[in-house]
Chains A and B, each alone.
Chain A
Amino acid sequence: MSTSDKPETTLHRFLANPLALGAAIVLLVIVLCSALAPVLAGADPAFSAIRDAFLAPFSAGHPLGTDSAGRDIWARLLYGGQISLLGALLALVVAALIGIPAGLLAGYYGRWFDSVSVWMANLVQSMPGIVVLLAARAVLGPSIWISMLIFGVILSPGFYRVVRTAVINVRGELYVDAAKVSGLRDSAIIGRHILTVVRGPIIIQASLLLGIALAIQSGLEFLGVGDNSVPSWGNMLNEGFRSIYRAPITLLWPSLAIGLTCAALVIIGNGLRDALEERGLSSARRDRRKNVGTATAAMAALPAVDEAALDEAAPLTRPGVNTADESETIVTAPLADLEFVPEPVWSDSTPLETPEPDPSAVLSVRRLRVGYGSGPHDKTVVHNVSLDVHAGEVLGLVGESGSGKTQTAFAVLGLLPTGGRVTNGSVLFDGEELTTRSRASMRELRGTGIAYIPQEPMSNLDPSFKVGSQLSTPMMRRLGLDKRAARTRALELLDRVGIREPERTYDSYPHEISGGMAQRVLIAGAVSCRPRLLIADEPTTALDVTVQAEVLRLLRELQSEQEMAVILVTHNFGVVADICDRVAVMNKGTIVEQNDVESLFARPRHPYTQTLLGSTLEGGPSRIDLDRAEAEGAHR
């Protein structure tokens, strides 16, 4: 992720790669030399002087010597480059002209054209290329142009497949749908939205196919089935091979030319791929994950908090109707003003934050600071966070995206993404400092002492293992149960979390169960080793609301059964009201207000808390109320 304002272009990134840059220079030199052959050669490539056969390199007038017919090798190499490169280019152009449009049409429209063209591509690819070329030569005569034309057809599935796949990927993007609804013609959609995405893969594929065309062409000529009346690298190879005992060095020059060109093309292709990867196909998805997603390093390091502030330059005055008193209008303060009230507000009933850790708490966090990166680019995402959670207590950690709530949770778990670390403060779990513990001992603690429930249940189950083994393996490791006992315990747990047919779910793969079921399975896994502290990161956000109610009920039951301390990270005040005993509200990496749940909802003190509570729609006015209020407002 670049922090500079100026977006790096693909070309910049390509040129910054020394290997790719070197390869590009080599290729450029070869192309230029071939193009300038008449100037550089100094001799006629076809002029034969038998007297001068097999002159050594650096002979007078023949910088690379001469071949068996006394022709100048340097001149033949340069003119041969013209023929060989143009031949390969011809194959490439033919392949592109057939493959790219076919791929675009098949990918975009699908249906019968897709089926037919896939079938054709398979047919072409299953034909042995060399045999086809040999047959064509027998019928049509030895012309490099004809054989490269045919070879272009044989190569076209290479383009076709790459383009088709890329188009199918992008076809489902919402912005293509939006363009359709905007009334764009298909040709405009393909030109504007689709071609930009497939451009990268096409360029990469072209550099690879050009190399293949050159190699095959030279191979054919080496076998002696080319047109040996023209100078080309393949023909020179054939020549050199025939006189390998008399003058082995004549074999070196064409081999070098072919080898260097092919290698340069492959390296350029790889370099292009690396350079394009930064902003290719998936950039939209990556962005989304950064911004909305859970706790990725990317999100934390992004100036997400600034974004939130920047976002709403619009006035925040919301003429809402208070349900308790119809005449009263709540006008909340603009977010920007909150910057001037940074004083955190602490509790009526929870005593003011004690500087010393609370020994009676299961978890006691003091002045926690989490930072990313180092040096001038470092960024602190959690500032001076202090909180306590006691056994049997549920603490809600509430905030919007970028507030640092998930980062706090991950710091406690010792699972901060790469680049993140606790830069200050202490985390005491059962009286023991966690911030200084080794990775290995943290791993020991997770699962048994501290358990975790993630936001996205599906992405936290390994798709290639059955649910049962993912549940029972940790219990075998951690609790030392044998296989049968672990299975029995896992089935009990599945039954406990409300799964109707535990046996069937136990033997299912994750894709065979629903999101709600998957979350129940993860909850079962989290409580399987009877942890003292459970950290749930937005455990119901990805679920339907009716499923959410059931999962919350389950969490409440398990929590009171096992006397667990729970930290529930959420953005939903309804969930907080439902399950939490105490609440900490986070904004821009700090806790701005901490209180027991009844008092916080009854008397929110910090303006930010008030703003958040004012934004919840649940139990708020309906559209009819709003329209009535607007009409009254207009009358006055």
Chain B
Amino acid sequence: MSEQLLSVDKLGVDFTRRRTTFTALEEITFSIAEGETVGLVGESGSGKTTIGRSILGLVPPTRGTLTFRGEDITHASRAKRRELSRDMQVVFQDPYTSLNPSLTIEGILAEPLRAQGIDRREAGRRVKELLDRVRLPSDAAGRLPREFSGGQRQRVAIARALALRPRLIVCDEPVSALDLTTQQRVLDLFIEIQRDTGCAYLFVSHDLSVIRHVSHRVIVLNRGKIVESGGVEKVTSDPDDPYTQRLMMSAPLPDPGAQRERREELEKLRVDSERAA
């Protein structure tokens, strides 16, 4: 776990629209080692999704550098990006729009394989393997995405990400559209895959409990800046930063007694911050 897979150094992203510039990210610095999960947690507008998208080359960085396996990929060309796709993949939040509704599951899964020049027969064999890997029945290959539930579609999306045996998968809120029991099983699948393949995850979520379940290290974002980062135990149970504290205390516990205490603590936090202001 010591070798750095990805280093993000002072990353900044600006969006310009109708001549007004909005700074989405500022001074983002962190790294991901081989085989580890780094959790990125924040609320809407915190910039957590933008970090993932700029690593994937879907949003151009305005400032800073991205280094992947010792190579500067900040402004990688399209050709270079195509090469990188073997090592870097993505699972998006919404399993309903991340799969093309008019392609079969086989068509979706074979796409990255075929793009890398793997022949049809070999791709077909890999597709079966992948379906098995994410525990979907092999007859799923010929069906369309709309025949599957949210959890199953997310499994298809995971299989697509795994197709090229990447070293890093950016997971952008991959379980937030799923039901409780489905969510847990998909998370456990992520963990199992990581144990088996040794790939690293950048796991983006708004939910601290999800982040706690899958991440080794956690980064907390607020309004485009990192407010706290560290080991999962520390950040998710005894955070130093007031915003992280508020984030943790705001999530209600599924236990009436414990939640009553948490609510009182949150109230105290609120009163304190109002007094400070």
List A residues at the B interface (Cβ < 8 Å): 7, 173-175, 177-186, 188, 192-193, 196-197, 279, 283-285, 287-288, 291-292, 307-308, 310-314, 316, 318, 335, 400-401, 515, 544-546, 548-549, 552-553, 571-578, 597-598, 601, 611-613, 615-624, 626-627, 630
Inter-subunit contact B94/A311 (CB<8 Å): no
**16 additional contacts, CB 8 Å, given A175-B99, A181-B85, A618-B254?**
A174-B92, A175-B100, A177-B53, A177-B58, A182-B112, A183-B164, A185-B115, A311-B182, A545-B43, A552-B252, A613-B254, A615-B180, A619-B258, A623-B212, A623-B216, A627-B216
Is B206 interfacial (CB 8 A cutoff)?
A: yes
Main secondary structure of the interface of A (DSSP, over half): helix
Inter-subunit contact A622/B90 (CB<8 Å): no
- Interfacial chain A residues near B152, Cβ < 8 Å: 310-311
- Interfacial chain A residues near B58, Cβ < 8 Å: 177, 180-181
Residue among B83, B100, B152, B188 with max Cβ neighbours from chain A (10 Å)? B100
Is B195 interfacial (CB 8 A cutoff)?
A: yes
Other-chain residue from A574, A578, A617 in contact with B210 (beta carbon distance below 8 A): A617
- Interfacial chain A residues near B257, Cβ < 8 Å: 598
Interface residues in B151-186 by Cβ distance below 8 A to A read 151-152, 157, 160, 163-164, 177, 179-185
Inter-subunit contact A617/B213 (CB<8 Å): yes
Other-chain residue from A173, A181, A310, A617 in contact with B149 (beta carbon distance below 8 A): A310
- Cα distance A616–B187 when bound, in Å? 12
A575, chain B: closest CB distance, angstroms:
6
- Cα distance A401–B178 when bound, in Å? 9
Inter-subunit contact B210/A183 (CB<8 Å): no
- Interfacial chain A residues near B103, Cβ < 8 Å: 192
Inter-subunit contact B259/A578 (CB<8 Å): yes
Is B142 interfacial (CB 8 A cutoff)?
A: no
Is B193 interfacial (CB 8 A cutoff)?
A: no
Other-chain residue from B81, B96, B181, B209 in contact with A618 (beta carbon distance below 8 A): B209
- Cα distance A173–B236 when bound, in Å? 33
- Interfacial chain A residues near B268, Cβ < 8 Å: none
- Interfacial chain B residues near A279, Cβ < 8 Å: 101-102
A560, chain B: closest CB distance, angstroms:
14
Other-chain residue from B37, B85, B111 in contact with A623 (beta carbon distance below 8 A): B37
- Cα distance A620–B251 when bound, in Å? 13
Other-chain residue from A177, A314, A318, A548 in contact with B92 (beta carbon distance below 8 A): A177
A601-B213 CB under 8 A given contacts A544-B43, A615-B180? no
A283-B250 CB under 8 A given contacts A177-B92, A544-B44, A623-B213? no
A239, chain B: closest CB distance, angstroms:
50
Inter-subunit contact A177/B253 (CB<8 Å): no
Is B69 interfacial (CB 8 A cutoff)?
A: no
- Cα distance A620–B151 when bound, in Å? 21
User: Can you name the residue of chain A whose Cβ is closest to the Cβ of B157?
Assistant: A178
- Interfacial chain A residues near B101, Cβ < 8 Å: 279, 283-284, 287
Is B266 interfacial (CB 8 A cutoff)?
A: yes
- Interfacial chain A residues near B115, Cβ < 8 Å: 182-185, 188
- Interfacial chain B residues near A193, Cβ < 8 Å: 100
Other-chain residue from B98, B181, B187, B252 in contact with A572 (beta carbon distance below 8 A): B252
Inter-subunit contact B181/A312 (CB<8 Å): yes
Inter-subunit contact A183/B185 (CB<8 Å): no
Inter-subunit contact B146/A181 (CB<8 Å): no
A617-B184 CB under 8 A given contacts A577-B252, A577-B256? yes
Inter-subunit contact A284/B96 (CB<8 Å): yes
- Cα distance A179–B113 when bound, in Å? 11
Residue among A182, A308, A400, A613 with max Cβ neighbours from chain B (10 Å)? A182
- Interfacial chain A residues near B232, Cβ < 8 Å: 622-624
B177, chain A: closest CB distance, angstroms:
6
Inter-subunit contact A571/B181 (CB<8 Å): no
- Cα distance A613–B180 when bound, in Å? 9
- Interfacial chain B residues near A291, Cβ < 8 Å: 96, 149-150
- Cα distance A611–B57 when bound, in Å? 40
Closest 5 CB pairs of A and B: A183-B85, A574-B252, A288-B96, A182-B112, A573-B254
7 pairs, CB–CB < 8 Å, chain A vs chain B: A178-B99, A185-B82, A335-B181, A546-B247, A552-B252, A578-B259, A617-B210
Is B89 interfacial (CB 8 A cutoff)?
A: yes
User: Can you name the residue of chain A whose Cβ is closest to the Cβ of B46?
Assistant: A544
- Interfacial chain B residues near A616, Cβ < 8 Å: 180, 209, 254
A238, chain B: closest CB distance, angstroms:
48
Other-chain residue from A178, A545, A549 in contact with B206 (beta carbon distance below 8 A): A545
B45, chain A: closest CB distance, angstroms:
9
A621-B255 CB under 8 A given contacts A177-B58, A313-B137, A545-B206? no
A545-B254 CB under 8 A given contacts A314-B135, A314-B185, A400-B179? no
Inter-subunit contact B250/A621 (CB<8 Å): no
- Interfacial chain B residues near A578, Cβ < 8 Å: 252, 259, 263
A162, chain B: closest CB distance, angstroms:
19
Inter-subunit contact B250/A179 (CB<8 Å): no
- Interfacial chain B residues near A308, Cβ < 8 Å: 149, 179, 182
- Interfacial chain A residues near B8, Cβ < 8 Å: none
Inter-subunit contact B85/A174 (CB<8 Å): no
- Interfacial chain A residues near B266, Cβ < 8 Å: 549
- Interfacial chain B residues near A192, Cβ < 8 Å: 100, 103, 111
Is B33 interfacial (CB 8 A cutoff)?
A: no
- Interfacial chain B residues near A611, Cβ < 8 Å: 181
Other-chain residue from A552, A618, A622 in contact with B233 (beta carbon distance below 8 A): A622
- Interfacial chain B residues near A548, Cβ < 8 Å: 250, 252
User: Can you name the residue of chain B whose Cβ is closest to the Cβ of A170?
Assistant: B100
- Cα distance A620–B180 when bound, in Å? 14
Is B246 interfacial (CB 8 A cutoff)?
A: yes
Inter-subunit contact B213/A621 (CB<8 Å): yes
Is B28 interfacial (CB 8 A cutoff)?
A: no
Is B88 interfacial (CB 8 A cutoff)?
A: yes
Inter-subunit contact B184/A546 (CB<8 Å): no
- Interfacial chain B residues near A601, Cβ < 8 Å: 254-256
- Cα distance A623–B191 when bound, in Å? 9
- Interfacial chain B residues near A624, Cβ < 8 Å: 216, 231-233
- Cα distance A578–B37 when bound, in Å? 31
Other-chain residue from B56, B86, B182, B250 in contact with A545 (beta carbon distance below 8 A): B250
Inter-subunit contact A178/B253 (CB<8 Å): no
Inter-subunit contact B100/A183 (CB<8 Å): no
- Interfacial chain A residues near B88, Cβ < 8 Å: 181
Inter-subunit contact A577/B254 (CB<8 Å): yes
Other-chain residue from A175, A619, A623, A630 in contact with B215 (beta carbon distance below 8 A): A623
B224, chain A: closest CB distance, angstroms:
15
Is B77 interfacial (CB 8 A cutoff)?
A: no
Other-chain residue from B37, B90, B208, B252 in contact with A178 (beta carbon distance below 8 A): B90
- Interfacial chain B residues near A544, Cβ < 8 Å: 43-44, 206
A7-B144 CB under 8 A given contacts A292-B150, A577-B255? yes
Inter-subunit contact B96/A307 (CB<8 Å): no
Is B66 interfacial (CB 8 A cutoff)?
A: no
A620-B250 CB under 8 A given contacts A283-B146, A313-B137? no
- Interfacial chain A residues near B215, Cβ < 8 Å: 623
- Interfacial chain B residues near A515, Cβ < 8 Å: 44
A53, chain B: closest CB distance, angstroms:
59
B151, chain A: closest CB distance, angstroms:
4
Scoring B residues 220 to 246 as 1 if CB is less than 8 Å from chain A, else 0, what string do you get? 000000000001110011000000001
